[in-house]
Amino acid sequence: MRREFKRHKTFTRRALFLGGAKLGLFTLLGGRLYHLQVLQSQHYAGLAEDNRVSPRLLPPERGLILDRFGVPLAVNRQTYRVFIIPEQTPSLEETLTRLEKLIPVRPGERERILRTVQRMRPFTPVTVVDNLDWEDVARVSAHSLDLPGVAADMVPRRLYPQGHYSAHVVGYVGAVAEEDLDGDPVLTIPEFRIGKAGIERVREADLRGRAGVSHVEVNAVGRVIRELSREEGEPGKDLVLTIDAALQRFATERLAGETGAAVVLDSQTGEVLAMVSSPTYDPNAFDRGISSREWESLLRNPLAPLSNKAVSGQYAPGSTFKMVVALAALEHNIVSPGKTFFCGGMLKLGDGRFHCWRRGGHGHVNLHDGIVQSCDVYFYEVARRVGIDRIAAMAERLGLGKRLGIELPGERSGLVPTKSWKLEALGKPWLIGETLIAGIGQGYVLTTPLQLAVMTARLVNGGRGVLPRLTRRIGEQRVAPEPGAAEDLKLTPEWLKLVRAAMDGVTNQRWGTAYGARIAEPGMEMGGKTGTSQVRRISASERRSGVRTQEELEREERDHALFVGYAPVDDPRYAVAVIVEHGGGGSRVAAPIARDLLKEVQRRDPARRTTPPEGVVAPAAFEVGPPGYRTGERS
């Protein structure tokens, strides 16, 4: 009995211990459930709601780009995309075969679609073809019963109505790369496009806008059930540029077939009225999807169509630099306007011989005739007396040798050498012979076409330091400076008048180097300066045997042709700079192009107009747009 009582007592203690342990566990479980379901109920309800509701970004509408008269340079259009939902079609390959008979499908697309379907969930839409027009989509819709799972939707695309005419100014948009990510969530939207070149790139922040948000209900596997709410984003701001689209088109066509650049400025405000780089390219190819073959062709083209030569091309200015040397000499009282030097066709300096472009020489030449006849020997003598550092200081005041801050990527500074520059950059002292060469715009001197246009504007506008501008308006805000805003360069008016009169003589005096390219119409006369930039050095043996003409040389050995000019002569308003790579002589090739540009810009007179000239018909590309084409007002 005693043993039985002891065994029963031991069982009772174990049962009590196990019961207590179970009670404790149930208490902990109840407490945890209370914590999760009561105390943390709102937190987990929010998580569940987040799993049920998925926010999706809506791409904003990109701002328009317009010329100064409202002509569209970059607009948005709604193109169409055909896609297929694999789970809704009984036979994917058979459906694709039927679809290929209705719309153009590029080779290899079928294989891409099949590979994509294998990786994606069956309810995920897979794009078959994009950039379709309405006729293609209508054809697909008409056969919808035979194409189960196939549907179409609209996709915003960027359209450049001017095409290649405005490519280097406006630029283009392209897919977002990893290095483009700046924290803006809109950049993570699939197939979103951002500016990659031109004003599209520089003004990306203004053009992009702000993304909207769509809240959709999804199930456990991510299938969209319905849209719960939508918050529209903020469209990008429209840009109004200083460019005159019709003048831009005229300049592009005038430079067609040549390699080079041309810039037309309002000399009073610095507004860029036309900027052309030749050859050019079609920016629409980048938005619709450029092939690797097309891209390689553009990159490997020796004429560099993707490069904006107006701001990134660096060339020796040749004789267009002589006005800089003349002003430096006058400002420092090195020479007087009547001081003459004798040109016999050559100047000796030590063992070196520095030749004039005219083999027989020009005889006794003063400053006016030195510019009009572009006498090299005269400017050798002047440059030697002035010195390279004074020449460089004047060149910088006129806008050479430094970036001008134009609103375009890739602008280069050019080079105006000094004694200290050569010692620091090359570790060698400056030589007097290098001053002579710099005096005619050769040697180390490098400029861009834009800089030459700005130099010309400053020479003829009374010595005001205008800067080039491309944007007139961002949204409703005006950004271009008003006339008179440019700083005074403190140049002596008497000397500016003298230099301008010499530029007048270049085109309007019979012995002027550009007389053959003058504007004969009364009231539209132009002034200017020719320039020829040597690409290769002419040896002494070639001079003895007779130098070959430019036409006899290989293209790569021909000189660059330059011309800078202004019009009208009596009241300068427009400035121009033209360079034709390997074009030969400036008077023969560049001056006629500049003349035609100055005639056209005076005829249109965009600086004084708020509307285009009467009777000027907009190009066909502006008149008819595809579905969704917008040109001015937002829908």
Give catalytic residue positions.
319
**In terms of DSSP H, where are the helices of 185-303?**
198-202, 204-208, 245-255, 284-288, 292-300
DSSP 119: H
CA distance 281 to 304: 10
Q: How many residues appear in the chain?
A: 635
Half-sphere exposure in the Cβ direction for 30 (13 Å, CA):
6
Distance CA 344, CA 377 (A): 8
Encode 219-245: b = buried (16+ Cβ within 10 Å), e = exposed: eeeeeeeeeeeeeebebbbbbbbbbbb
Write out the H or E segment, with its range, that includes residue 598. Answer: helix 591-604
DSSP 262: E
Pair 265, 276: CB distance under 8 Å: no
CA end-to-end span of the chain, whole Å?
A: 102
CA distance 464 to 397: 10
Secondary structure percentages of the chain, helix, strand, coil, to 5: 40, 20, 40
Contacts of 192 (CB under 8 A, 6+ apart): 59, 175, 176, 186
DSSP-derived secondary structure letter, 234: B
Give yes or no for a contact between 67 and 245, defined as CB atoms under 8 angstroms apart.
yes
Tell me if 532 sits within 8 A of 586, measured CB to CB. yes
Residues 400 and 410: their CA atoms lie apart, in Å, by 16
Task: Pick the closest to residue 249 from 161, 355, 127, 344 (CA basis).
Answer: 161
The DSSP call for residue 373 is T
Which residue shows structure tokens 């040896």? 539
Helices and strands (DSSP H and E) totals, the chain: 23, 21
Three-state DSSP state, 227: strand
Hey, CA dihedral for 301, 302, 308, 310, is it positive or negative? negative
Contacts for 93-102 with beta carbons within 8 Å, 24 or more apart?
95/147, 95/148, 95/149, 95/150, 96/128, 98/143, 98/146, 98/147, 99/128, 99/140, 99/147, 99/150, 102/136, 102/139, 102/140, 102/143
Distance of CA 102 to the CA centre of its chain: 39
Count of C-beta atoms within a 10 Å radius of residue 393: 16
Q: Are strands 173-175 and 560-567 parallel, antiparallel or unpaired?
A: unpaired
User: Rounded CA gap, 89 and 68, in Å?
Assistant: 52
